[in-house]
Every structure is written in C-alpha cells, then in structure tokens.
Amino acid sequence: MNIDWSSLGFHYTETDYIVRSTFHGHRDEKGQLMGQWSEPEATRDKYLHLHVSATALQYGQEAFEGLKAFRGVDGQARIFRMQANAERMQRSAEGLYMAPVPTDLFCKAIRLALVKNIDYLPPYETGATLYFRPLLIGSTPRLGVGPGVDFEFVVIPSPIGPYYPGKFHCTTFIINNHIDRAAPLGTGQFKVGGNYAASFRATEAAHLQGYDCMFTDAKTHSFIDECSASNFIGIRGNQYITPRSSSILPSITNDSLMTIAREMGYEVIRREIPVSELSEFEEAGCCGTACVISPIGKVIDPDNDTVYTFGNGEPGPKLTELYQALQDIQYGRARDHHGWCEIV
Ligand code: PLP
Ligand code: COI
C-alpha cells in the first residue's frame, strides 16, 4: 500500500475490507416488517450478488450515509457522531419502506470497518480522513411496484482528501430554478440515492460552467434550499442563519456548527431564506461532512441577472473560526464536551 495522503481528493480508494450485514424478512398480517439482521462481517469481496430485479435496482429502494474517522493530534482514531448518522439512516429507511439498521449494529459495523482498515486512516495533518459510506439497499426480486422485504447493509471505507481541493478557499454557486432536486413533501429530507440522481442534470450543468449548483425550494423557487449536496449558512452580524425546509437533508455538520455557534454567542436562526436576502450576508458558506465548511465567494442568479458577492473573495473570519472550532474537536485539539467523537 502506497498512498500519497496529501494528494488524495474526494475519490474512492479501495481498502482491504468492507463490512456487510443482511436482513431477510417478511411482512406479517398487519403489514409489519419482521426479520433479523445478521452479525456484521468484514469481507474482502467488494461485489454484491444481487438479483437483477432487486428493488434497489428497479425502484430505487436505497439509502446511504457519509461519516468520517480522523487521526487526532494524539495519534488516536476518532469517529465523529456516528449515532447521528445511524439515526438519520433509520429515518431514510422509514422514508423508503426499508428495514432500519439498529444504532448498535450500525456503530458496530463502522468500528469494524475502521479496525479492519486501520492502515488506511490517514496520518494527522495530511488533511485526509477515512470516510465511511454506509449503504442500505433493497435486495428482494420484484417486478410489481412495491417495496421488498430483504436488505443488504454495507459499510464502504475510503481514505479521502478534501471535497474542494486546495486550501480553504471560496467557491461560486449558480442558482438553478428550472430543475428541482426534491419536492417539498418528497424525499429531500432523506439521504436516498434518487435525490442525487435527480440532481445530476442541474449539478453537471453548473459544473460545465465552472460552478456548483444552488437549489431553491421546489414550490416557489424563491427560497434557498441546498447548495449541491450541502446545507447553506449565511452570517449577518452575530446571526447564523440557515434554511428551514422540508426538502433539505438535516446536516449533522450544520447541527454541530449551530451548537458551536450558539456557544460562541451567535443567535442561530433556522427559517426560510429568500434568495434576495443573499445581498444582506457578510459571509456565506455551505457545510457537510465532506467539506466541513466551504465558504461561498459568489452566488449567480441568472434568472434575475444578479450576482451576490461576499467579502473580498477570501474566506470570511467568522466561518473560518467556526470551521476551525469544529475541526479542533474532530482532531482532538479541543475538549469534546459534547461527546461527539468516539475514540477507537
Ligand atoms: N445535504 C445533502 C443533500 C447532503 O448529501 C449532505 C451530505 O451528507 C449534506 C447536506 C450535509 O450533511 P452532513 O453534514 O450530515 O454530511
Ligand atoms: C457530504 O458528505 O458533505 C456530502 O456532500 C455528501 C456527498 C459526498 C454525497
């Protein structure tokens, strides 16, 4: 194994093991899904033996997660908030009529994936981390439209570098009011593959122009929904403002940053954010597991012939401070008084 940690991007690098667990079930007379998950097992086999008519393939019965382990300043391995990811995956499972993976089993599988691939946990100060992609898929063969009763749960580890390569820098977003990622009462609040496939037309069009895509709410196209695959944050004075919307993913990074921001004395506000309010923010950014925070330099609104700019094109001091505060906890440089990190 010869990995140049510092040059890793957000790309898949195969590790020795994945972890796998299987659920075989049936529905009882009340429609309740009955069945059991097998003990999670580490395997070198990266392929699933999946029936061509599996509900994941036919009808998109699939959900996933994303979380990281960090090599701390003290050399120890820290997994960040995996219980929160387990709970979100349970909500996704419920949203798509799948068997939920119990929190204990989810955490056991992540720990096993870390321990079996410990050589792939990047050293401290390389900017790289070990990312885990838990995946839940429906495996029952079906042609009739409906949910299955059998599921595969796998944890795919991969060492990764920063989502946005280079130093902490600003990105540009372009608003797309013509393609919706998720409906207001649809699946946007769940982390399911279909949301991402549905966003590709918009995100790839933005990438071709050299930008990332900002989605507005699907009902009125006047409020900020999400920044590609991350939540939006606007800073005005001592206010930390982030969208409240039924079609965005509740980000665990955003939740952590909101907690830190409150502790720093910010007023944290979650509400609908009209696109026009972008002109009032001193700093803007997007947040998620992959990038932690990525400051936004510009938002282009082509339909209204408007370009919103933030600061002088350099990351602003407030988002930089929030970014550092969260990374300090993740790398063990600050006291983790919330108990967010599990040392393995
Ligand atoms: N929004 C979307 C659509 C995402 O895919 C993600 C990434 O997981 C996020 C927001 C950020 O969520 P988290 O901070 O839990 O990674
Ligand atoms: C994130 O983890 O922040 C993401 O944006 C998820 C994406 C890579 C699917």
- Note the pLDDT of residue 252: 98
Residues 140, 150: Cα–Cα separation, whole Å: 5
Residues 1, 17: Cα–Cα separation, whole Å: 14
Whether the predicted pLDDT of 166 surpasses 70 = no
Q: Tell how far the Cα of 18 is from the centroid of ligand 1, in angstroms.
A: 22
> If you take atom 5 of ligand 1, which residue's CA is the nearest one?
229
Residues of the chain with CATH 3.30.470.10: 5-160
- Note the pLDDT of residue 125: 87
Residues of the chain with CATH 3.20.10.10: 171-330
Does residue 293 have its Cβ closer than 6 Å to ligand 2?
no
Nearest ligand atom owner, CA of 251 = 1
> If you take atom 11 of ligand 1, which residue's CA is the nearest one?
288
Residues 307, 313: Cα–Cα separation, whole Å: 13
> If you take atom 2 of ligand 1, which residue's CA is the nearest one?
229
Strands 231-236 and 341-343: unpaired
Does residue 216 have its Cβ closer than 6 Å to ligand 2?
no
Find the residues whose C-beta lies inside 6 A of ligand 1.
66, 226, 229-231, 249, 251-254, 288-289
Whether the predicted pLDDT of 97 surpasses 90 = yes
Whether the predicted pLDDT of 164 surpasses 90 = no
Q: Tell how far the Cα of 227 is from the centroid of ligand 1, in angstroms.
A: 10
Rounded-to-10 torsion of CA 122, 137, 219, 301: 30
% of residues, the chain, pLDDT over 70: 99
Report which DSSP code applies to 45.
Answer: -
Which of 3.40.50.12160, 2.20.25.90, 3.20.10.10, 3.20.20.80 is the CATH number of 171-330?
A: 3.20.10.10
Each residue's pLDDT tens digit, 194-240: 999 999 999 999 999 999 999 999 999 999 999 999 999 999 999 99
Ligand 2 pocket test, pick from 65, 129, 199, 230 with the greatest ligand atom count within 8 Å of Cβ, gives 230
Which of 3.10.110.10, 3.30.470.10, 3.40.50.1860, 3.40.50.12780 is the CATH number of 5-160?
A: 3.30.470.10
Does residue 249 have its Cβ closer than 6 Å to ligand 2?
no
If one compares 272 and 9, the residue with the highest pLDDT of the two is: 272
Average pLDDT over the chain, rounded to an integer: 96
CB-based contact 98:138 (threshold 8 Å): yes
Whether the predicted pLDDT of 77 surpasses 70 = yes
pLDDT band per the 50, 70, 90 thresholds, residue 13: very high
CB-based contact 305:277 (threshold 8 Å): no
Q: Tell how far the Cα of 260 is from the centroid of ligand 2, in angstroms.
A: 21
Q: How large is the angle between the packed helices 103-116 and 82-95, nearest 10 degrees?
A: 130
Whether the predicted pLDDT of 78 surpasses 70 = yes
> If you take atom 3 of ligand 1, which residue's CA is the nearest one?
229
> If you take atom 12 of ligand 1, which residue's CA is the nearest one?
251
Helix (H, G, I), strand (E, B) or coil at 58: helix
- The partner residues of 298 in beta bridges, in order of sequence, read 172, 309
Residues 119, 15: Cα–Cα separation, whole Å: 9
Ramachandran quadrant class, 60 (left: phi over 0; alpha: psi -120 to 50; beta: rest)? left
Q: pTM to 2 decimals?
A: 0.96
For residues 68-96, average pLDDT: 98
What is the residue-wise DSSP string for 108-165? HHHHHHHHHTGGGSPPTTSS-EEEEEEEEEE--B--SSS--SEEEEEEEEEEE--SS-
